[in-house]
Chain A
Amino acid sequence: LGVSEINQNTWDDLEALLVQADLGIETSTDVIRALKQVVVENGLTRSEELSQVLKQELLNRLLPIPEPVLPDQKPLVILMVGVNGSGKTTTAAKLGKQFANQGKKVLLAAADTYRAAAVDQLQVWGERLNLPVVAGQPGGDPGAVAFDAIQSAAARGFDYVIVDTAGRLHTRYNLMEELKKVYRVSGKALSGAPHAVWLVLDATTGQNALQQAKAFKEAVQVTGIILSKLDSSARGGMAFAIQKTLGLPILYAGLGEKPEDLEHFDREAFVNGIFHN
């Protein structure tokens, strides 16, 4: 936003900025409408006064969640879900490392028995991070892997079980049914499980992200979002529509491929990233 009088150009530039950050035209229009009101109410005339107002407006649209609120359960079961390639397996490993650093005993469950070498991928992470992995046979039943992992974690006094599931497009009926089964079977292994269902969304995703979040929430009661690949040049603006429409908190940001590249979602940093990238 340049340094000048606020005029139609200012609003056009603002729309360009927001749409290009993947907020979508609907949310962008909504944000601009809100800003126009602030401008009138506060008698603002200079475009440089807008930046602060815009920043605040965007911040207001994101839930302040400094730490994910997790129930006091042992073991606590977290189910990782999402479309193909979004970053589930890597994020599962990163989370495992974070919890282990807090002194917790973490078990990883490789319940992606479908994709080539998905189990190997999680096992490599397990070796690198020194975390045990329960794995099934390629082509085996993912529900059974989750079940075994949860039972064995309960028996061996683990604090966390992180269940990695296969990527699936939210439009694939059978695969979503399979995921529901993993969810149900987890509850059979341990009443109340899974205690958290985290949807891993690739921050480079555009408007389809909302459909993804809707479908996964409907299928398996997603409780929070992890925005992966925020280190990319994309800005992840679809988070606003997801927050608004589904009320789901953004819990973590994935910021790279290394195990330490996971941070609690920081609204300020996220909103700043929309301005300067």
Chain B
Amino acid sequence: MFDNLSGRFNEIFQQLRRRGKLSEADVDAVLREVRLALLEADVHYSVVKSFVTRVRERAVGHEVSKALNPAQQVIKIVHEELINTLGEPDRLNLSGPKPRVVMMVGLQGAGKTTATAKLAKILRSQGERVLLVAADPYRPAAVKQLQTLGQQIGVDVYTREGVKPPDLAAQAFDMAQKSGVSAMVIDTAGRSQLDDALMQELQAIARRVPVNETLLTVDSMIGQEALHIAEGFRDSVKLTGLVLTKMDGDSRGGAAISIRSVTGVPIKYLGTGEGLDALESFDPRRLASRILGM
């Protein structure tokens, strides 16, 4: 797949050798392939459309630099635009009174619980006193899962059987405040953006505790719906960041572009494995190349 695409671009490079200003024909020849590459990477159809239009506007008439042929020049512009869209990696906002609260949200099976533990591990290594909150009473053994992970990294996990997530979060917050906890990470249940009751539950949590960060956790293998899902979560809760999981596979991760484009929230972490050290900040350059398949 990857070689294929580089090969396809190379073919265009061979064909276009003229110097001077980029013509519409030069640009369109390359953008046809770019469009395919982005769609194959699961970037949303409408996002691809506006992206290609934007690049076209920028590229046509652009001076071809001495070092590059016209196709390479267009690719360079594409790459730059992708990097701009992806934005710089952003850190967690842990300002304000303690404890600072991070809430993980997302679809079922995206990787929230795992990312919760990974994040706790990072925070603790930065000297924070961390408490995990097991606010998924629905999935069988979800609480046990978080407790097991908490044990592995030596971080306490707040659980109360039969207590609804907003109450649970409030109780955990009280306890955290009293016991000098500086950062609290809430693991919530997987939910669809279309599930009103469960989306209201997230809002209720956010009313009960002051949430610093609401991180949308998204499986990097996700397809076109990423856009609507992100919009749905954004419309219900104030998203502040994105975690893209399972990046250790061979998915191209085009959802990052779609989600970034519609929500504007920065990408904060990439999940790169099942182990609890596998949470990384991202390099826009590398991610752009991966999405393009180059």
Q: Which residues of A contact B (CB under 8 A)?
A: 16, 19-22, 24-25, 83-87, 114-118, 120-121, 123-125, 128, 169-172, 202, 204-209, 211-212, 229, 231-235, 237-238, 257
Q: What 1/0 flags go to B78-112 for Cβ under 8 Å of A?
A: 00000000000000000000000000000111110
Q: Which residues of A contact B139 (CB under 8 A)?
A: 121, 257
Q: How far is the CA of A128 from the CA of B246 in the complex (A)?
A: 31
The answer to whether B225 and A234 have CB atoms under 8 Å apart is: yes
Given contacts A19-B45, A25-B39, contact A233 B222 (CB under 8 A): no
A80 CB to nearest chain B CB (Å): 14
B39 CB to nearest chain A CB (Å): 4
Q: Which residues of A contact B232 (CB under 8 A)?
A: 233
The answer to whether B249 and A83 have CB atoms under 8 Å apart is: yes
* Cβ-based interface call for B141 (8 A): yes
* Cβ-based interface call for B219 (8 A): yes
Q: How far is the CA of A202 from the CA of B223 in the complex (A)?
A: 10
A contact face: mostly helix, strand, loop, or mixed: loop
* Cβ-based interface call for B262 (8 A): no
A174 CB to nearest chain B CB (Å): 12
Taking CB atoms and an 8 Å cut-off, the chain B residues in 222-259 that contact chain A are 222-226, 228-229, 232, 246, 248-252, 254-255
Query: Chain B interface: which size bin?
Result: 35 or more
Taking CB atoms and an 8 Å cut-off, the chain B residues in 120-149 that contact chain A are 138-142, 144-149
B157 CB to nearest chain A CB (Å): 11
Pick the contact of B145: A25, A121, A208 (CB < 8 A): A121
Q: How far is the CA of A25 from the CA of B250 in the complex (A)?
A: 19
The answer to whether B219 and A19 have CB atoms under 8 Å apart is: no
Q: Which residues of B contact A (CB under 8 A)?
A: 1, 36, 39-42, 44-46, 107-111, 138-142, 144-149, 152, 192-194, 219, 221-226, 228-229, 232, 246, 248-252, 254-255, 274
Q: Which residues of B contact A238 (CB under 8 A)?
A: 223
Q: How far is the CA of A8 from the CA of B110 in the complex (A)?
A: 38
The answer to whether A234 and B223 have CB atoms under 8 Å apart is: yes
Report, nearest first, the 5 A-B pairs whose CB atoms are least far apart.
A206-B223, A85-B109, A206-B42, A124-B140, A117-B145
A-B contact pairs, 15 of them (CB 8 A): A22-B42, A24-B39, A25-B36, A83-B246, A83-B249, A117-B142, A205-B223, A206-B222, A206-B226, A208-B221, A229-B107, A233-B192, A238-B223, A257-B108, A257-B138
